[in-house]
Amino acid sequence: EFYKPPVYVTGISRNGGEIEIPVNNLLLSNEENNISIYFTGISFRNRGKLSFEYMLNDADWMPINSNPLRFESLKTGTYEVQIKAISRDGLESEKPLRFKVEVAPQFYETWWFIGLLIFTFAALGLGLIRYLYSERQRIILEDTVEEKTYELNLKIEELHRSNQDLKQFAYV
């Protein structure tokens, strides 16, 4: 029976500062999106002769040329990191080391901020529509008042003339 070399995390640093090794998930803020993963493999038959590969989010296995494995400028999202050891005999780790790295979104990428923007623009749009409608109504009202005032002035003038005509006939 051949020994399949296991892989262990020996340390993790975030933006250059060492942090506690997470049990399952590593949560990062958007500003802390650079990580280094220090690891080791154990092989009693081929001491120091292990090679390592990693996989990020079901991509192809990639060889690791240096320890630590570095990920820089990770974008917002969840990543699954897997690391496996390969012995000189070609035996791979039975279970690759696996954990998740989650990079939190910027505040402007969150659902509540987008909802707030939609609400704000909807409120501004409705406010503008109400303002334009009331302006239109005000103009219509001013035109109506002006028209009615003109008509009233004409009637007053007509009544004034009629009154003068009556006064002329009254003195005759």
Task: Tell me what pLDDT residue 82 has.
Answer: 92
What are the tens digits of pLDDT across the range 58-70? 899 999 988 899 9
Three-state DSSP class for residue 114: helix
Task: Tell me what pLDDT residue 172 has.
Answer: 58
Is the pLDDT confidence value at 1 over 60? no
Partners of residue 93 on adjacent β-strands: none
In this prediction, what percent of the chain has a pLDDT beyond 70? 94
Q: Show the tokens assigned to 113.
A: 């901020």
Is the pLDDT confidence value at 25 over 70? yes
Is the pLDDT confidence value at 50 over 90? no
Task: Tell me what pLDDT residue 60 has.
Answer: 94
Range 123-133 average pLDDT: 96
Whole-angstrom distance, CA of residue 86 vs CA of residue 68: 17
Whole-angstrom distance, CA of residue 85 vs CA of residue 42: 9
Q: Do 69 and 42 touch, CB atoms closer than 8 A?
A: no
Closest CA to 50 of 39, 61, 58, 60: 39
